[in-house]
Homo-oligomer: A and B are copies of this chain.
Amino acid sequence: MTREMHPARWGDPKLAGALPDSTRELVEYAFGVQDRPAVEVVAVPPSALSEEILAELRGIVGVEQVLLDDETRRLRTRGKSTPDLLRARSGDLADAPDAVVRPADHQQVLALIELAQRHRFALVPFGGGTSVTGGLVARRDDVVGVVSLDLIRMKALREVDPISMTAVLEPGLRGPEAEALLAEHQMTLGHYPQSFEYASIGGFAATRSSGQSSAGYGRFDALVVGLEVATAKGTLVLGSSPANAAGPDLRQLMLGSEGAFGVITAVRVRVRALPTVKQYEAWQFPSFADGADAMRLLAQNGQLPTVIRLSDENETALNLASHSNVGGDTVTGCLMVIGFEGTDVEAVAAKRGAVAALLTRAGGEELGAERGEAWVQGRFAAPYLRDALLDAGVLVETLETATFWSKRDEVYQAVRDALVAELGEKALVLCHISHVYETGCSLYFTVAAPGGDEPLTTWLAAKAAATEAMVGHGATVSHHHAVGSDHRPWFAREIGPVGVDILRAVKAELDPAGVLNPGVMIP
Contacts and interface: CB of A to CB of B under 8 A. Distances in A.
Contacts of A116: none
B480 A247 contact: no
B478 A244 contact: yes
Given A252-B253, A256-B249, A508-B505, A164 B242 contact: no
Interface string A247-264: 111111111111000000
A127 to B, nearest CB: 15
Nearest to A498: B236
Given A238-B495, A496-B237, A479 B244 contact: yes
Given A475-B240, A483-B246, A270 B164 contact: no
Central interface residue in A243, A296, A438, A475, by most chain B CB within 10 Å:
A243
Contacts of A247: 256-258, 482-483, 491, 495, 503, 521
Contacts of A254: 248
Nearest to A300: B165
Interface in A472-492: 474-483, 487, 491
Contact of A406 (B164, B236, B498, B510): B164
A216 to B, nearest CB: 9
Interface in A401-416: 401-407
Copies in the complex: 2
Interface residues of A, number: 89
A501 interface: yes
B234 A498 contact: yes
A365 to B, nearest CB: 23
Interface in A216-233: 219, 221, 225, 229, 231, 233
B478 A245 contact: yes
A521 B245 CA distance: 11
Interface of A: 161, 163-166, 207-210, 219, 221, 225, 229, 231, 233-238, 240-258, 270, 272-273, 296, 300-301, 347, 350, 354, 401-407, 435, 437-441, 474-483, 487, 491, 494-499, 501-506, 508-510, 521
